[in-house]
Each structure stands twice: as structure tokens, then as C-alpha cells.
Amino acid sequence: MPEKVNADQGLDKKMNKSLSSNSKVKHFNKKESLFHNYEDFEETPTSAAVITVLGYAILTALGWLRDFLRNIGFEEKKTANDPNPKDFVPLYQSYECFYTRNLYTRIRDVFNQPIASVAGAKVEVMERLSDDFNWTFKFSGKKLPSINLGSYNYLGFAENQGPCSEQAIKSIEKYGVTTSSTRHELGNQQYMKELECLMAEYLSMEDCIAFGMGFATNALNIPILVGKGDLILSDRLNHTSLILGARLSGAAVHTFDHNDIQDLESKLRDAIIHGQPRTCRPWKKILIIVEGVYSMEGSLCKLSEIIELKKKYKAYLYVDEAHSIGAIGPRGRGVVDYWKVNANDIDIHMGTFTKSFGSAGGYLAGKKTLIDHIRVYSHSACYSSSMSAPIVQQIISALNIIMGRDGTNDGQKRIQQLACNVRYFRRQLVDMGFIVYGNDNSPVVPVMIFMPAKIAAVNREMLKRGCAVVTVGFPATALTESRVRFCISAGHTKEMLDHALKSMDEVGQLVSLRYSKQNRHRRWHELNHADYDKEYLS
Amino acid sequence: MTRGDIESLATDFYDLLESFKHAPVYHLSFEIFLVLAVSWLVFFRKPRPIEKKLTEKEKQELIDEWQPEPLVPSVDPNHPALNVRVLDGIVGKTVEIDGRTSLNFATFNFLNFVGKQRIADKAIQAVQKYGVGSCGPRGFYGTIDIHLELEERLARFFNCEEGIIYSYGFSTIASIIPAYSKRNDILFVDEGVHYAIQKGVEASRSHVKWFRHNDIADLERLLAEQEILDKKNPKKARSIRRFLIIEGLYVNYGDICPLQRMVELKYKYKYRIFLDESVSFGTIGQTGRGVTEYYNIDRQKIDLISSTLEYAVGSIGGFAVGSSFVVDHQRLSAQGYCFSASLPPLLAAAAIEALNIMEEDNTTLFETIMDKSKRLHKKILSIKGYIVNGDEISPLKHLRLTNALNTIGRLEEIVQFAQTRDITITVARYLSDEHRLPEPSIRLILNVEMNDEELEFLCTVLQEALVKVTT
């Protein structure tokens, strides 16, 4: 049964929990036996943490040594030079670029890897070679066909053939590529209205407004919803766009521990009881900002409990469903669908079209009064060019497919395929002994690798075996929590997933990635494949 | 005082000292303790704040009583932003509104690339190769070879070392400024810059010194004041970066910045110049390379040139060009670049084709647009009753009525009347929290493919509209 929130407990508990020491949370909803919601963040093994910190310490010490050698002229300075005279104030402080010069450049080849094809289930990565340890790159001309486990292509709409791209091409012929005008002037095209109506229907909301960039949707619209005298309670692991929007709004921002309902409640109570700092005036309004699926952790927000809190304390709720819309829930309607809550309990729905719809842009949905306010005051609507026709058409086509309006059940098949793929992939990784963070149902699968050198090793070895993966370290994650983050797609076939798992098994053996203390360490051939296959095909 | 008094004082003092010597130790120590205690009480004790400890019941009452404001205030349903005309077709040189075709002087379609077949063909080819979206940020397999090609082409066009592209015009300059300028730095910003720059400046949290629009004397005054402060504290001055943020051609005013003088001052006062050429790219200069070409200034002296792909180029997105030293930093520090999905490949392909057209050997686009802008400027000046703001070679002009007549209501009437005569123009729209809200105006934008007759017709309609509105 889900934990009941106790108000007094919330007041007394002031534990500062880090993510990795968070204990296991098991929710088995007895109402639906098919609905399995399990989230786990296994603790970092002490030995791994110690060696990771030691690793960074050695790299830092080496970095100081190399900087010293560069300063005395013993070693060549490979960074570009300021074309301005020497008496200008330096553009970058030396310590700001320390990380870039000495840590990032060593493994620069695993980031920003260019591709030369559609970012679908399979992708062609352009091979880059470097003679001088990643300071400069040359393209060899070779294209490496790889399984794409890095792009956000949850429902597999990143295709260059099929009904979506055909309709996008027709829209280019009808409307051109842009309008060169804003929504307030001559950029208000019929296709924008069509998209907004369709999206509002999809989310079961009164109205919706769409923008050309997901990042800008957060950063430029949060300032018009809250301002000075308001309070924002933001999850500690929220995306940069939400943090920027909160900062630009001028409202006070307090963070609560990731997915920690008790911490959120205690902060809500404190805010209402004590009011604004120094003046003690009551807050004008309180906005809680959370994400549907957190892209670095793979965790889902505890939506039902947050809604309970929000109603109890009369706060407003903003949910950023960038990664969850289309990818989570039995009908692909996001976390609202997953937790079976009333969509109207969330005041502002936000999401992006980049991930599950294979397009670009973002949206905000809610009551008509809210959306009217945004239409009038949004920075994007007043100053940015309106969305491009083929981009909008791709979203409309994808939505029609997902909602089954095209006459096929392709949409529902994609959603089920994704759910199948996710379960299949995760189960086997966990059973092999890797530490996998996050919710069992999230299409984002982070596998912990901890040490800085392994970030590069895993990426390079997986690419050699034909799998393009994304590895992230500091500063995108905490210092000791580097990970390889798989993004599963409905476009992945069972063979592709098997190949990826086999590669991960080999790389895991080569680089020693099996850290789990809860599960046995097993090689891929030791797993009972018949079980997984049976579940996959059901 | 007499000698006797002094003698008696001295005797008293001597007696006092003697009594100290003879007093018991406990007495003396007690006296000293009292003196110390009193002096501590008077001078050093801080008054302890009275702690407000609320009971549970009081806390619950506070929680129950608290009423938040509504999430958003109600909006007037007649607000123009809620009643924008809905279009359904190409918004090119002409636009179809309510079944009638009208000439379009309202969109930023300077070179008439919107709806051009060549560009549409290339965009279609890109969809057939790459699909529509790029499905990821630049760091995670969102970098497609077509992005690298576009960056290289833009850098080559401007003869700079490196280029970087963004997926949204507004976010370009709004992400660039905070990537370089931090809390302790100083930004000298022209008051007339457009909203995206104002947001970038706000996001940087730097000290901002606004100078009057295009007023070099005012800028020099601010620089001189800063120099005096620097001399007082040279150590601190060595760690404060300074930037000048200006536009090549101002969207809100239509006039060109006095760039030569600003470059001279750069070497005198040691600041870096960030030049936003959103409007001047593709419209000013012999080959469309902006104000640096127009004034014949070496582009290496400008630290960073940023612009948009949404105006002259006829695509979506933005870019920045400059030396590798400056541009490369954005790849890790600009939020709009690192944390956002990359530009859809079809839009990058459209931009590359637009650049191809602009770089053609026998192109007369730029000569033509500057020439036509001059002619339009003269024609409108000849209509008494309008004030035209903007340089004569600027393809973007702001039209105002004289003095007290200049209200949004009257300008909207002019726009509506023009629409009935099949001329589409627009009142420039701003949000109320602009740093310096410009006066209401009609923003006229010249399309390079407008011929003389059409320009004449525009002026005729404007004249008639003026008569209608002022009688």
C-alpha cells in the first residue's frame, strides 16, 4: 500500500537524503494486478565511491601539473588564443576552464558524436579520428551502423518513410518552411489551431498552446505565471529549463529532495506558516514544479501523493512531461494515465514534442483562462516566429496514429511494443547484476558506472560492438554517480535488444560494471531466456 | 582653583589610593566584578530576540486560513492577441486573408525566401533522408552532419573561424549573453535592444548600464565613469569583464548603430563587442554580410556576431559566428544549446540552400533591397503626416503619426483600412515589460521582390488611410 503522509512526521524529519542512500520503495497496487510499479535506487557501494573520488583527485592533480607545465612553456598550449590585445580582462577565468581543459577533453570523443542518418532505431555514427588526444578531430569518412540507444525516440516516430513524413512533405509544399512572423501578427496559421485542439483533446484538457522549442516553453512561460511574492517548490533534480524559468520569474525558489513527499510537505507547511522571509507577509501563491519522468534517474514522480498535498495546502501544480508524454501509461497519455489521476487536478501540463512525437517544440495545456493568459503574455507568442509547417504536421500525424484516428491500431501497438521492450531490457540488465536506477516502467534506463574513466570505456567499447549509447558524468550528474543511459524505443526489435544486452554483458565483464549487491552477478548466457521470451511475446 | 584646593584634592586622591591598598582582597575583587558586569550589560549584551513559538493549533489555523491568489488574472476576451487573424497558406510576398490576396509588408521576409521552390525542394530531400525531428540534444546523437555543414557555411560566409547554430531564434542571444557574462561583470547595453537581448541580460545577473539609444556620447560618459571607478580599485577591475551589447540594425527603431566609433572605444576602454545582426544579416552591405561590411570594418574586431535564421534566411533557428576562442565556449556553457534538442535537419537544409542563393555570383538581391529601401523611404517622407523612423537603407521602417495623434487605436484603424485595400501591414507588438517601451508604430517591412508599382500603391493607400483617420 502506498505510504500515508503523516504531517507531524514531516515536521520532525529533517533528513538530508542523497539519492543513492534512498531506501527501496515498493508499491504494489492491489487494485490492478497487471499494474506493476517498482522503483529502485540501489546504494552506491563504498568501494566504488572511494575509487571514483580517488580517480577525480588523481585527474585533478594531473590537471594542475599539466597546467603548470603549460604555463612555464614546457608543454604546448592547445587551446585557442584570444584575438584581442593582452591588456583586455581575460574572457575566461583559468579555473572555469580547468574542467574543460583537463578532464572533458580527454574523453571528448564520446560526446557530441555526429550522425549521418535518421535518428531512428538504427543510426549511422560518423567515425571521428584524432591525432592529438581529442583536441582536434578529422572525419575518416566511414559511417558506423549502430543500434541507437541514445536518441529520444520512444514511440519510434523518427522515420524518414511512412505516413508521417509523407504528410510533412505535403505541408512543406502547401505552406513553405516558415512564416517569418510571430503568433501575434501573421504567424497564426490554421495548422497551429488544429494542433492545439488535437493536443488538448489528447490530454483531456480545455485548451492548449504550442511553441517552437521545448526549452523555451519552460524558460519563457514560467515568468508569466509566477513573479515576485510567489513561491516555487521545485524538485532538486529538475531540468535546467525549469530552473532558468524559475530564476527569471523573480519568485522565491525552494528545492525539496527528489521525490521526497515528506520533505515537500514540511516545506509547504513552513512556507504557509512563516510566510515570506523577513517581512512575514503570506505568499501570494505557491507553485510546485515536478517532472513526469526524470531523464537522468529514470524515476517517475509520485503524482497521486503530490496531488493530495497540493489539494490539502491549496498550492498549484506544474508537471513537465517532456519524457513521459506518449511513452508512459497504457494509452500513452503520460503520468496522468499511468497513475490514473484526474487530469484537471494538475493546473499546468507541459510537455515537448521532441521525444515521443519525433518532431520539435513544446506545449502548455490547462484551463482556458490559463491558456488565454499565456497567449496574451507569452514571450514566445509575441516575439518568436511561429512553428514551421512540417514540424507541426509531423506532430499532428503522430497524434492521429497514437489516438487511432488513422484507422489502424498502429499507435496502440507502438505503445505496447515500447512497454514490452522496456520490461525485457530492464529485467535482464538487473538480473545480470548491474545497478539500474529508476522505475521499472520508464523508457529511460540508467545503468551506473561510477568511475570517470569507465565513462569513456563503456561508450567506446559499445560503439565497437555496434551500439550507440549515451554516457554521462559530472556535472550533468553527481560526482560519484556517472552512468550510461539507455533510451528504449518502440522501433527496437527483439534482435536489436538482444544484441545490445550481449554487448553490455561483454563490456560489463571487460570494464567490471557489475556492482549490484542485491542481485546475483550473471553472464548473459547464464540467464533463462525462455522466461523472458515468454513474457515478451505475451 | 586656589593652591589650597589643589592640595586638598591631592590629599583626597592619596587617601583613596591608600584605602585601596588596605582594603581586603575579596572586597576589591567584588568591586571589580561589579564594574565589569555593569559595563558588559551596558555595552556588549545583544538583546535576545523573543522567540515566536506557535502551537500546533495556531499552525493549523494559519494553514487553513491561507488563501492563494488565482493562478492567472482574468484576461479581456477582446485583447488583440486573442483575436489574431487565422491564415491558411504561404505567407510570402502576398498573403491570402478572407479569400482575398493582399501584398504583404508585415512579415520579416526580406529576401522573399518564404515559399521559394528551391528551398522547399531541399527541405523535402532532407525529410526523405533524416525524417523530421532530430530526437536529441547536440551532445547525445543530435548532431547531424547537416548541422556541421551549416555551421561551416555560416562561418565561411562571414569569414570567421567558427559558427554555432541554435534551434530557436529567441533563445540564441538569450543563451549567449549569460554564457559569458556572470555576476560581477558589466554590460553596456543600448536601451533600444529587442526583448530577447533584454532577457539574456536579465538571465546573466551582471551589472547593466543602459545608455540612450544610439547615443555615443552617453556611452562614453558611462565608460568614463567606470574608468574612474576602475582606477580606485585596479585589482578588482582586472577581474571584471566588460561587454557592449548592440544590434546592427535595431528591430524596434530601424536605425543602424554607429559601429566605427564603438570599435574605436573598444580598444580605448577594453570591452568586448557582441553584435546582434538579426535584421541586418542578408539586408545590409554589398553582399548581405551586415553592418561590418557596410562600414568596412574588419570582422575580427567584433568578438561575436549573432543573428537569426528566421528573418532573411527564411528558416527557423539562430546562430553565432566569431573566433574559435569565443564561439567554442558556448558548446558547453550556453543553456539553449546544451540542454535543448538540436535544429530539425529540414530547417538546416533550408538554411543552407538560402545561403547558396545568397552566395551566388550574379546575385543582385542586396543591391536591390538597399536601393528599394531608399526609394520607399523617399516616397513615404513625401506623405505629410507620417514620421518615418529608420535609416534610408533599412528595409524595416517604423511609421508613426505626428505627435499626439500617434495612438494604437488610430494605427490599428490604418492597418484595417489598408487590409480592405489589399495591403497587409501590422502594428508592432510588444509586451508591457520591455525595458523602454517604444512608441506605438506600424512596422513596415520591405520584400526585395516588390516592384515600383507595388511600392507606389502602398504609399497611395497609406495616404488615403491618413486622411480617413485624421478627419
ipTM at complex level = 0.89
- Residues comprising chain A, all counted: 538
Which member of A160, A212, A240 has the closest CB to residue B131? A160
Inside any domain, residue A9? no
Q: What CATH number does the domain containing A453 carry?
A: 3.90.1150.10
CB contact under 8 A, B142 and A159: no
CB contact under 8 A, B199 and A248: yes
Inside any domain, residue A529? no
What is the chain B residue with the closest CA to A239?
B339
Pairwise CA distance, residues A205 & A197, whole Å: 10
Inside any domain, residue A264? yes
Mutation for testing the A interface, residue in B60, B125, B141 having most A CBs under 10 Å: B141
CB atoms within 10 A of CB A60: 14
Residues of B in contact with A470 (CB under 8 A): 140-141
Q: Which of A403, A433, A454 is the last residue of a domain?
A: A403
Please provide residue A403's backbone torsions phi and psi, each rounded to the nearest 5 degrees.
-80, -5
Pairwise CA distance, residues A424 & A155, whole Å: 16
Q: Taking all residues of chain B, what is their mean pLDDT, rounded to a whole number?
A: 91
CB contact under 8 A, B85 and A188: yes
Residues of B in contact with A148 (CB under 8 A): 141
Q: Shortest Cα distance from B19 to chain A (angstroms)?
A: 56
Mutation for testing the A interface, residue in B51, B69, B72 having most A CBs under 10 Å: B72
At A255-280, the pLDDT tens digits run 999 999 999 999 999 999 988 988 88
Q: Determine the structural domain holding residue A258 and report its residue range.
A: 163-403
* A388 and A459 co-located in one domain: no
Per-residue pLDDT, averaged over A39-45, amounts to: 84
Q: Which of A345, A368, A403 is the last residue of a domain?
A: A403
DSSP code at position A356? S
* A116 and A248 co-located in one domain: no
Please provide residue A242's backbone torsions phi and psi, each rounded to the nearest 5 degrees.
-70, -40
- Cα dihedral A164, A165, A167, A171 in deg (nearest 10): 130
* A397 and A416 co-located in one domain: no
Mutation for testing the A interface, residue in B110, B122, B135 having most A CBs under 10 Å: B135
Q: What CATH number does the domain containing A226 carry?
A: 3.40.640.10
Inside any domain, residue A181? yes
* A262 and A388 co-located in one domain: yes
Pairwise CA distance, residues B80 & A301, whole Å: 38
Q: Which of A403, A437, A457 is the last residue of a domain?
A: A403
**How many structural domains compose chain A?**
2
* A399 and A413 co-located in one domain: no
Task: Decide: residue A26, CB within 10 A, 0-12 exposed, 13-18 middle, 19+ buried.
Answer: exposed
Among left, alpha and beta (phi > 0; psi -120 to 50; other), residue A391 is alpha
Residues of B in contact with A388 (CB under 8 A): 316, 344, 347
CB contact under 8 A, A390 and B54: no
**471 residues of chain B, pLDDT tens digit each:** 678 788 888 888 888 888 877 878 888 899 999 999 999 988 887 777 766 678 888 888 888 888 999 999 988 888 888 888 899 889 999 999 888 999 999 999 999 999 899 999 999 999 999 999 999 999 999 999 999 999 999 999 999 999 999 999 999 999 999 999 999 899 999 999 999 999 999 999 999 999 999 999 999 999 999 999 999 999 998 889 999 999 999 999 999 999 999 999 999 999 999 999 999 999 999 999 999 999 999 999 999 999 999 999 999 999 999 999 999 999 988 999 999 999 999 999 999 999 999 998 778 889 999 999 999 999 999 988 888 988 899 999 999 998 788 888 899 999 999 999 999 999 998 988 888 999 999 999 999 999 999 999 999 999 999 888 887
Element (H, E) at B183: none
Which member of A100, A354, A387 has the closest CB to residue B341? A354
| Domain architecture of chain B: domains with CATH | 80-104+363-470 (3.90.1150.10), 117-361 (3.40.640.10)
* A306 and A332 co-located in one domain: yes
- pTM, 2 dp: 0.89
Residues of B in contact with A111 (CB under 8 A): 139
Terminal C-alpha separation, chain B: 98
What is the chain A residue with the closest CA to B343?
A360
Q: Residue A442 has which C-alpha cell? A: 520508464
- Is the pLDDT at A289 greater than 90, yes or no? yes
CB contact under 8 A, A379 and B114: no
